[in-house]
């Protein structure tokens, strides 16, 4: 049996009669005459297959069914009345959902402040955070599993189909074990470090920055001696502390205070510069999610 569709108009008429317990008074409240209201209630009872009111010449009383329905109908009408305002709020990005992926380095400095400020300004937006490497984010964009992503990359990285907003630019620094002979120096020269065993991320997760680092080695005619690969920056730093090698990491990773590890700036030479890395907020070209546009306002852009 098909459940009948009942218009909100009938529910409003039901509430008026239930609250007034007088068809004449309810009709006046609804700015209509009594006969159409009587017919509307009879039609509602027929659609429901239950009796809502007991009528006599002198009184109108709600049945037990009507008393049970009234609170739910009032809630239904209140929610229906709120829909236009909710639609306007959704269009403004004040309510809704934003699925945001981020690389671990963004969690050291950028992301906490953005999330805190965004939640203060848009508390009704459901913000779903997912830590993911750059390659995982690109796959998630293809599957439409995320709305935006914060990725680490080298300058010039521009995946097709994605809008990019550059939000941070920083140098690479060298992470060394505290007991490493070079750790005693405040700053290092590039020629001093290129022969050191290297701990680095796999190329697949950050190809642009991986290639920039390897390009620095090749420009110096010094093939990199990769001792170990690891995906997360925290893991890379932990492996450095274990003495497996040195690692090139974004300057912001200094905030990851791993005991047994120090960070040093490295001075390059003309034609052999230490690469810089960038962090950008990415989202699909033409994305229509208002919550995304609202969040992007909290990501101040740097000049390219």
Work out the end-to-end distance of the chain between its first and last CA atoms, rounded to an integer number of angstroms. 63
1-6 contacts at long range (C-beta below 8 A, 24 or more positions apart):
4/47, 6/44, 6/47, 6/48
pLDDT at 9 over 80: yes
Instruction: Compute how many other C-beta atoms are within 10 angstroms of the C-beta atom of residue 160.
Output: 5
Do 258 and 238 touch, CB atoms closer than 8 A?
yes
Do 102 and 230 touch, CB atoms closer than 8 A?
no
Distance CA(300)–CA(188), nearest Å, equals 33
| 3-class SS of residue 212 | helix
Q: What is the CA radius of gyration of the chain?
A: 32
Tens of pLDDT, residue by residue over 107-150, are 877 888 888 888 888 888 889 999 999 999 999 999 999 999 99
- Helix 8-20 / helix 34-48 crossing angle, nearest 10 deg: 110
Nearest to 133 by CA among 199, 200, 204, 198: 204
Contacts of 107 (CB under 8 A, 6+ apart): 131
The stretches of the chain forming alpha helices (DSSP H) are 8-20, 23-29, 34-48, 64-91, 110-121, 134-142, 190-193, 207-219, 233-241, 290-296
List 98's β-bridge partners, or say none.
127
pLDDT at 287 over 90: no
* Domains observed in the chain: 8-91 (1.10.10.10), 98-167+279-296 (3.40.190.10), 169-277 (3.40.190.10)
Mean pLDDT, residues 13-18: 94
List 265's β-bridge partners, or say none.
187
Distance CA(209)–CA(138), nearest Å, equals 16
pLDDT at 303 over 70: no
Tens of pLDDT, residue by residue over 214-250, are 999 999 899 999 999 999 999 999 999 999 999 999 9
Q: Which residue has the tokens 């630019």?
A: 169
What pLDDT is recorded for position 2? 67
């Amino acid at each position: 049996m098909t459940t009948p569709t009942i218009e909100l108009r009938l529910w409003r008429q039901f509430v008026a009669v239930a609250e007034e317990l007088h068809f004449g008074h309810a009709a006046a409240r609804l700015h209509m005459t009594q006969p159409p209201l009587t017919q509307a209630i009879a039609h509602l009872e027929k659609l429901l297959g239950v009796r809502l009111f007991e009528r006599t010449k002198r009184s109108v009383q709600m049945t037990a069914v009507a008393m049970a329905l009234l609170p739910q109908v009032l809630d239904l009408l209140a929610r229906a009345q709120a829909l236009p305002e909710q639609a306007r709020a959704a269009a403004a990005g004040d309510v809704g959902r934003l699925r945001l992926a981020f690389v671990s380095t963004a969690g050291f400095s950028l992301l906490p402040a953005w999330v805190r400020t965004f939640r203060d300004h848009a508390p009704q937006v459901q913000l779903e955070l997912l830590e993911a490497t750059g390659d995982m984010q690109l796959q998630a964009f293809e599957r439409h599993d995320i709305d935006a992503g914060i990725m680490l990359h080298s300058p010039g990285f521009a995946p097709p189909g994605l809008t990019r907003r550059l939000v941070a630019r920083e140098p690479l620094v060298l992470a060394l074990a505290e007991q490493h002979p070079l750790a005693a120096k405040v700053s290092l020269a590039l020629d001093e470090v290129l022969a050191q065993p290297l701990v680095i991320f796999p190329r697949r997760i950050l190809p642009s920055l991986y290639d920039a680092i390897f390009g620095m080695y090749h420009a110096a005619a010094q093939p990199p001696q990769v001792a170990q690969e690891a995906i997360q920056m925290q893991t890379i730093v932990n492996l450095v502390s274990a003495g497996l090698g040195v690692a090139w990491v974004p300057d912001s990773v200094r905030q990851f205070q791993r005991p047994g590890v120090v960070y040093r700036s490295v001075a390059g030479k003309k034609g052999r510069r230490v690469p810089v890395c960038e962090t950008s907020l990415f989202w699909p070209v033409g994305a229509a999610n208002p919550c995304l546009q609202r969040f992007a306002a909290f990501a101040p852009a740097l000049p390219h």
